[in-house]
């Protein structure tokens, strides 16, 4: 599954367009490597999103087989390893 679709399905970012923009700006890393929105992911991968004011790191547990995931089922697809706000200087 593409990283943009995955991040949208698990609701880390609200739209695939936002994920694509984050990738274009160099905010999204897959296993410590900057990626494009079209990069394929697999189970066990770590995704790091380094926004100017926030850092999010998740581990992919499962790849969704369907187009929609219920809110209660989202926790079965990833683990949040880090979610911190950055200090504004």
Q: What is the CATH number of the domain that holds 55?
A: 3.10.290.10
3-class DSSP state of 55:
strand
Q: How far is CA 42 from CA 2, 25, 30, 86, in A?
A: 9, 23, 10, 29
* Structural domains of the chain, count: 1
pTM over 0.75: yes
- 12 pLDDT band, cuts 50/70/90, is confident
Question: In whole numbers, what is the pLDDT of the chain averaged over residues?
Answer: 90
Helix (H) or strand (E) holding 34: strand 33-34
Q: 52 pLDDT exceeds 80?
A: yes
Domain coverage including residue 62: 3-85
Q: 16 pLDDT exceeds 90?
A: no
Nearest alpha carbon to residue 3 among 50, 53, 64, 51: 64
């Amino acid at each position: 599954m593409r990283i943009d679709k995955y991040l949208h399905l698990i609701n880390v970012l609200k739209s695939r367009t936002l994920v694509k923009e984050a990738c274009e700006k160099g905010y999204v890393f897959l296993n410590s490597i900057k990626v494009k929105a079209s990069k394929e992911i697999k189970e066990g991968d770590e995704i790091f999103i380094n926004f100017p004011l926030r850092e999010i790191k998740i581990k992919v547990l499962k790849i969704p087989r369907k187009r929609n995931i219920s809110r209660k089922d989202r926790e079965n697809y990833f683990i949040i390893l880090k979610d911190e706000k950055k200090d504004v200087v």
